[in-house]
């Protein structure tokens, strides 16, 4: 790779890291999925136990995903090494 292309690639990578595009996309996508699943469940005429377990699992997984979002990314207090 040429030095200028490599520099541009590093600048793009820094921007993606600084704005946390991937973790935010995952969180937004999962929030949408959760909304759709809960809306689907509430629209069922007679939900079964299996439906309730599916919705509980989908909604319950949001805590680890949120924890991933909060702990990922650059630590701004430490100087870049």
Residue 70: half-sphere exposure toward Cβ, Cα within 13 Å: 6
- Where do the structural domains in the chain lie, given as residue ranges? 20-71
Q: Are 37 and 58 in contact (CB under 8 A)?
A: yes
Residue in 8, 16, 11, 10 with CA at minimum distance from that of residue 72: 16
**Higher-scoring residue by pLDDT: 75, 46:** 46
pLDDT of residue 74: 67
**Residues in the chain, total:** 81
Q: What pLDDT, in 10s, does the model give residues 34-65?
A: 999 999 999 999 999 999 999 999 999 988 88
Q: What pLDDT, in 10s, does the model give residues 1-39?
A: 677 888 888 888 888 877 888 888 888 999 999 999 999
């Amino acid at each position: 790779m040429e030095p200028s292309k490599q520099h541009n690639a590093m600048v793009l990578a820094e921007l993606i890291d600084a704005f946390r595009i991937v973790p935010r996309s995952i969180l937004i996508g999962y929030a949408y999925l959760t909304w759709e699943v809960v809306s689907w469940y509430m629209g069922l005429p007679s939900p079964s136990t299996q439906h309730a377990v599916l919705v509980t699992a989908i909604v319950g997984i949001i805590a680890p995903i949120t924890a991933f979002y909060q702990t990922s990314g650059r630590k701004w207090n430490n100087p870049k090494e």
